[in-house]
Structure 1
Amino acid sequence: MLNFQRSLPMMLNYTLDAVMPVHRELFARFDLTEQQWRVLRMLWTSEKTTAVEISKQTLLPAPSLVGILDRLEKKGLVERKRSESDRRKTYVLVTEQGRALQQQVLPLVQDIQIHLTQSIGTDDWAALERILDTIKQNMDDVTLADILRSKSKS
Protein backbone atom coordinates (compact mmCIF):
# COMPACT_ATOMS: atom_id res chain seq x y z
CA MET A 1 0.00 0.00 0.00
CA LEU A 2 1.18 3.53 -0.83
CA ASN A 3 2.60 5.49 2.12
CA PHE A 4 0.10 8.25 2.98
CA GLN A 5 2.78 10.90 3.64
CA ARG A 6 4.53 10.07 0.34
CA SER A 7 1.41 10.41 -1.81
CA LEU A 8 1.67 13.37 -4.17
CA PRO A 9 -1.31 15.29 -2.72
CA MET A 10 0.12 15.02 0.81
CA MET A 11 3.66 15.93 -0.26
CA LEU A 12 2.28 19.00 -2.03
CA ASN A 13 0.22 19.92 1.04
CA TYR A 14 3.21 19.50 3.38
CA THR A 15 5.34 21.61 1.06
CA LEU A 16 2.68 24.31 0.84
CA ASP A 17 2.42 24.33 4.64
CA ALA A 18 6.19 24.85 4.84
CA VAL A 19 6.36 27.55 2.17
CA MET A 20 3.29 29.67 2.91
CA PRO A 21 3.98 31.04 6.43
CA VAL A 22 6.72 33.38 5.20
CA HIS A 23 4.46 34.50 2.36
CA ARG A 24 1.55 35.06 4.74
CA GLU A 25 3.82 37.12 7.00
CA LEU A 26 4.74 39.29 4.03
CA PHE A 27 1.12 39.69 2.89
CA ALA A 28 0.07 40.65 6.42
CA ARG A 29 2.65 43.47 6.41
CA PHE A 30 0.73 44.99 3.53
CA ASP A 31 -2.75 44.11 4.83
CA LEU A 32 -3.39 41.54 2.09
CA THR A 33 -4.93 38.10 2.18
CA GLU A 34 -3.50 35.25 0.13
CA GLN A 35 -6.42 35.51 -2.28
CA GLN A 36 -5.98 39.28 -2.67
CA TRP A 37 -2.29 38.67 -3.29
CA ARG A 38 -3.03 36.12 -6.03
CA VAL A 39 -5.32 38.57 -7.79
CA LEU A 40 -2.87 41.46 -7.56
CA ARG A 41 0.07 39.31 -8.62
CA MET A 42 -1.83 38.21 -11.70
CA LEU A 43 -3.04 41.73 -12.50
CA TRP A 44 0.47 43.16 -12.20
CA THR A 45 1.38 41.14 -15.29
CA SER A 46 -1.52 42.40 -17.41
CA GLU A 47 -2.79 45.77 -18.48
CA LYS A 48 -6.46 44.91 -18.05
CA THR A 49 -8.34 41.66 -17.74
CA THR A 50 -11.76 40.30 -16.99
CA ALA A 51 -12.92 38.63 -13.79
CA VAL A 52 -13.39 35.39 -15.74
CA GLU A 53 -9.71 35.39 -16.73
CA ILE A 54 -8.63 36.29 -13.18
CA SER A 55 -10.68 33.38 -11.85
CA LYS A 56 -9.06 30.97 -14.33
CA GLN A 57 -5.51 32.09 -13.68
CA THR A 58 -5.73 32.40 -9.90
CA LEU A 59 -7.87 29.28 -9.36
CA LEU A 60 -10.32 31.37 -7.34
CA PRO A 61 -14.01 30.60 -7.87
CA ALA A 62 -15.91 33.43 -9.55
CA PRO A 63 -18.35 33.92 -6.62
CA SER A 64 -15.41 34.35 -4.19
CA LEU A 65 -13.64 36.65 -6.60
CA VAL A 66 -16.44 39.21 -6.47
CA GLY A 67 -15.83 39.86 -2.76
CA ILE A 68 -12.04 39.85 -3.19
CA LEU A 69 -12.30 42.46 -5.96
CA ASP A 70 -14.73 44.52 -3.85
CA ARG A 71 -12.20 44.62 -1.00
CA LEU A 72 -9.26 45.41 -3.30
CA GLU A 73 -11.31 48.20 -4.87
CA LYS A 74 -12.21 49.55 -1.42
CA LYS A 75 -8.46 49.63 -0.61
CA GLY A 76 -7.89 51.64 -3.79
CA LEU A 77 -5.68 48.95 -5.37
CA VAL A 78 -7.87 48.01 -8.34
CA GLU A 79 -10.72 49.52 -10.30
CA ARG A 80 -13.39 48.08 -12.55
CA LYS A 81 -14.09 49.62 -15.97
CA ARG A 82 -16.95 48.63 -18.20
CA SER A 83 -15.93 47.86 -21.78
CA GLU A 84 -16.94 50.58 -24.22
CA SER A 85 -17.40 48.07 -27.04
CA ASP A 86 -19.27 45.41 -25.04
CA ARG A 87 -21.24 46.73 -22.05
CA ARG A 88 -21.58 43.17 -20.67
CA LYS A 89 -17.83 42.97 -20.16
CA THR A 90 -16.05 44.59 -17.23
CA TYR A 91 -12.29 44.90 -16.97
CA VAL A 92 -10.24 44.95 -13.78
CA LEU A 93 -7.24 47.28 -13.75
CA VAL A 94 -4.56 48.06 -11.20
CA THR A 95 -4.64 51.64 -9.89
CA GLU A 96 -1.62 53.86 -9.30
CA GLN A 97 -1.81 52.89 -5.63
CA GLY A 98 -1.81 49.22 -6.69
CA ARG A 99 1.29 49.82 -8.84
CA ALA A 100 3.00 51.56 -5.92
CA LEU A 101 2.27 48.50 -3.78
CA GLN A 102 3.76 46.34 -6.52
CA GLN A 103 7.03 48.25 -6.26
CA GLN A 104 7.15 47.60 -2.52
CA VAL A 105 6.07 43.96 -2.45
CA LEU A 106 7.61 42.32 -5.52
CA PRO A 107 11.25 42.75 -4.43
CA LEU A 108 10.41 41.01 -1.14
CA VAL A 109 8.60 38.20 -2.94
CA GLN A 110 11.63 37.90 -5.20
CA ASP A 111 13.82 37.52 -2.10
CA ILE A 112 11.62 34.65 -0.90
CA GLN A 113 11.76 33.03 -4.32
CA ILE A 114 15.56 33.32 -4.44
CA HIS A 115 15.77 31.71 -0.99
CA LEU A 116 13.52 28.84 -2.12
CA THR A 117 15.48 28.31 -5.32
CA GLN A 118 18.82 28.40 -3.52
CA SER A 119 17.54 25.96 -0.90
CA ILE A 120 17.51 23.19 -3.50
CA GLY A 121 19.77 24.62 -6.21
CA THR A 122 18.90 25.96 -9.64
CA ASP A 123 19.21 22.60 -11.43
CA ASP A 124 16.85 20.89 -8.98
CA TRP A 125 14.49 23.88 -9.14
CA ALA A 126 14.37 23.62 -12.94
CA ALA A 127 13.76 19.87 -12.64
CA LEU A 128 10.97 20.49 -10.10
CA GLU A 129 9.28 22.96 -12.45
CA ARG A 130 9.59 20.53 -15.34
CA ILE A 131 8.20 17.61 -13.33
CA LEU A 132 5.27 19.61 -11.93
CA ASP A 133 4.45 20.95 -15.41
CA THR A 134 4.53 17.41 -16.82
CA ILE A 135 2.27 16.08 -14.06
CA LYS A 136 -0.19 18.93 -14.65
CA GLN A 137 -0.22 18.41 -18.42
CA ASN A 138 -0.65 14.65 -18.04
CA MET A 139 -3.49 15.03 -15.53
CA ASP A 140 -5.40 17.85 -17.24
CA ASP A 141 -8.89 16.58 -18.03
CA VAL A 142 -8.13 13.04 -16.77
CA THR A 143 -11.02 11.40 -14.96
CA LEU A 144 -11.13 8.42 -12.68
CA ALA A 145 -12.97 6.57 -15.46
CA ASP A 146 -9.99 7.21 -17.78
CA ILE A 147 -7.59 5.72 -15.25
CA LEU A 148 -9.78 2.69 -14.57
CA ARG A 149 -10.23 2.14 -18.32
CA SER A 150 -6.45 2.24 -18.93
CA LYS A 151 -5.91 -0.14 -15.99
CA SER A 152 -8.36 -2.67 -17.39
CA LYS A 153 -6.50 -2.60 -20.75
CA SER A 154 -3.18 -3.54 -19.17
Structure 2
Amino acid sequence: MNQDIVIKDVSAFAKINQFLFMPLYDWAGKYRSGNFYKGNTAFLDCNRFDYAEEDINHVLTMQKEKDELIAEDYAQLMDLLNYMHPFREENGRSTRLFLQCYAANHNQCIEKSYPLSNHDLIQALTDANVHEIARLIKVEKI
Protein backbone atom coordinates (compact mmCIF):
# COMPACT_ATOMS: atom_id res chain seq x y z
CA MET A 1 0.00 0.00 0.00
CA ASN A 2 1.27 3.46 -0.89
CA GLN A 3 1.92 5.32 2.38
CA ASP A 4 1.30 8.68 0.69
CA ILE A 5 -2.45 8.07 0.57
CA VAL A 6 -3.04 6.68 4.04
CA ILE A 7 -6.03 8.38 5.65
CA LYS A 8 -5.35 8.46 9.38
CA ASP A 9 -7.57 11.39 10.29
CA VAL A 10 -9.59 14.23 8.86
CA SER A 11 -6.50 16.40 8.31
CA ALA A 12 -6.03 14.51 5.03
CA PHE A 13 -9.22 16.19 3.78
CA ALA A 14 -7.57 19.63 3.81
CA LYS A 15 -4.40 18.22 2.25
CA ILE A 16 -6.41 16.72 -0.58
CA ASN A 17 -8.25 19.99 -1.21
CA GLN A 18 -4.93 21.85 -1.20
CA PHE A 19 -3.27 19.36 -3.55
CA LEU A 20 -6.14 19.49 -6.03
CA PHE A 21 -6.83 23.21 -6.07
CA MET A 22 -3.69 25.11 -4.99
CA PRO A 23 -2.98 26.15 -8.58
CA LEU A 24 -6.46 27.71 -8.80
CA TYR A 25 -7.24 29.12 -5.36
CA ASP A 26 -4.91 30.75 -2.86
CA TRP A 27 -7.23 29.50 -0.09
CA ALA A 28 -7.06 25.87 -1.19
CA GLY A 29 -6.79 23.53 1.80
CA LYS A 30 -7.81 26.25 4.25
CA TYR A 31 -11.09 26.13 6.10
CA ARG A 32 -13.58 28.87 5.33
CA SER A 33 -13.87 31.62 7.92
CA GLY A 34 -17.53 32.45 7.32
CA ASN A 35 -20.76 30.52 7.25
CA PHE A 36 -21.98 28.97 4.06
CA TYR A 37 -25.37 28.23 2.55
CA LYS A 38 -26.27 26.57 -0.73
CA GLY A 39 -29.92 26.98 -1.65
CA ASN A 40 -31.92 25.96 1.42
CA THR A 41 -28.99 24.02 2.88
CA ALA A 42 -27.01 25.51 5.76
CA PHE A 43 -23.66 23.88 6.39
CA LEU A 44 -21.90 23.63 9.73
CA ASP A 45 -21.08 26.89 11.48
CA CYS A 46 -17.39 27.56 10.88
CA ASN A 47 -16.86 28.06 14.63
CA ARG A 48 -17.74 24.40 15.18
CA PHE A 49 -15.26 22.75 12.81
CA ASP A 50 -13.31 21.36 15.74
CA TYR A 51 -16.41 19.36 16.78
CA ALA A 52 -16.86 18.07 13.24
CA GLU A 53 -13.21 17.01 13.12
CA GLU A 54 -13.69 15.18 16.41
CA ASP A 55 -16.75 13.34 15.07
CA ILE A 56 -15.05 12.39 11.81
CA ASN A 57 -11.89 11.22 13.57
CA HIS A 58 -14.04 9.16 15.96
CA VAL A 59 -15.76 7.45 13.01
CA LEU A 60 -12.39 6.78 11.35
CA THR A 61 -11.10 5.26 14.60
CA MET A 62 -14.18 3.07 15.03
CA GLN A 63 -14.00 1.90 11.43
CA LYS A 64 -10.37 0.83 11.91
CA GLU A 65 -11.71 -2.00 14.06
CA LYS A 66 -13.74 -3.47 11.19
CA ASP A 67 -12.39 -6.20 8.95
CA GLU A 68 -14.18 -4.83 5.90
CA LEU A 69 -16.04 -1.61 5.33
CA ILE A 70 -19.46 -1.50 3.70
CA ALA A 71 -21.27 1.24 1.76
CA GLU A 72 -22.90 2.54 4.96
CA ASP A 73 -19.45 3.19 6.45
CA TYR A 74 -18.45 5.35 3.49
CA ALA A 75 -21.88 6.99 3.42
CA GLN A 76 -21.52 7.97 7.08
CA LEU A 77 -18.22 9.69 6.33
CA MET A 78 -19.62 11.33 3.20
CA ASP A 79 -22.51 12.72 5.22
CA LEU A 80 -20.22 14.12 7.93
CA LEU A 81 -17.80 15.67 5.43
CA ASN A 82 -20.65 17.18 3.42
CA TYR A 83 -22.24 18.76 6.48
CA MET A 84 -18.90 20.14 7.64
CA HIS A 85 -18.35 21.65 4.15
CA PRO A 86 -15.16 23.39 5.30
CA PHE A 87 -13.90 24.83 2.02
CA ARG A 88 -15.20 27.77 0.02
CA GLU A 89 -15.37 25.57 -3.10
CA GLU A 90 -14.67 22.05 -4.30
CA ASN A 91 -15.93 20.19 -1.21
CA GLY A 92 -17.56 17.49 -3.36
CA ARG A 93 -14.47 16.69 -5.40
CA SER A 94 -12.31 16.69 -2.27
CA THR A 95 -14.77 14.35 -0.55
CA ARG A 96 -14.74 11.93 -3.50
CA LEU A 97 -10.94 11.74 -3.50
CA PHE A 98 -10.79 11.46 0.30
CA LEU A 99 -13.22 8.52 0.18
CA GLN A 100 -11.39 6.84 -2.71
CA CYS A 101 -8.07 7.09 -0.84
CA TYR A 102 -9.72 5.84 2.34
CA ALA A 103 -11.24 2.92 0.41
CA ALA A 104 -7.81 2.10 -1.06
CA ASN A 105 -6.46 1.94 2.50
CA HIS A 106 -8.97 -0.89 3.03
CA ASN A 107 -8.16 -2.65 -0.27
CA GLN A 108 -11.45 -1.44 -1.66
CA CYS A 109 -12.64 1.10 -4.17
CA ILE A 110 -15.83 3.00 -4.59
CA GLU A 111 -17.18 1.92 -7.96
CA LYS A 112 -16.58 4.30 -10.86
CA SER A 113 -20.31 4.84 -11.23
CA TYR A 114 -20.24 6.90 -8.02
CA PRO A 115 -21.98 9.93 -9.49
CA LEU A 116 -20.07 13.15 -9.98
CA SER A 117 -23.33 15.04 -10.11
CA ASN A 118 -26.49 13.21 -9.25
CA HIS A 119 -29.78 14.69 -8.10
CA ASP A 120 -30.55 11.66 -5.91
CA LEU A 121 -27.18 11.86 -4.17
CA ILE A 122 -27.48 15.60 -3.65
CA GLN A 123 -30.94 15.11 -2.16
CA ALA A 124 -29.73 12.29 0.11
CA LEU A 125 -26.87 14.50 1.33
CA THR A 126 -29.25 17.43 1.86
CA ASP A 127 -31.53 15.14 3.87
CA ALA A 128 -28.53 13.61 5.73
CA ASN A 129 -30.00 10.23 4.77
CA VAL A 130 -27.06 7.87 5.27
CA HIS A 131 -29.10 4.83 4.19
CA GLU A 132 -29.95 6.49 0.85
CA ILE A 133 -26.37 7.72 0.35
CA ALA A 134 -25.17 4.14 0.90
CA ARG A 135 -27.67 2.84 -1.64
CA LEU A 136 -26.19 5.17 -4.26
CA ILE A 137 -22.55 4.09 -3.87
CA LYS A 138 -21.04 0.70 -4.53
CA VAL A 139 -17.95 -0.67 -2.83
CA GLU A 140 -15.70 -3.22 -4.52
CA LYS A 141 -12.75 -5.23 -3.26
CA ILE A 142 -9.44 -4.60 -5.06
**TM value normalised by structure 1:** 0.26
Structure with the higher helix share, 1 or 2? 1
**Bigger Cα Rg:** 1
TM-score relative to the length of structure 2: 0.27
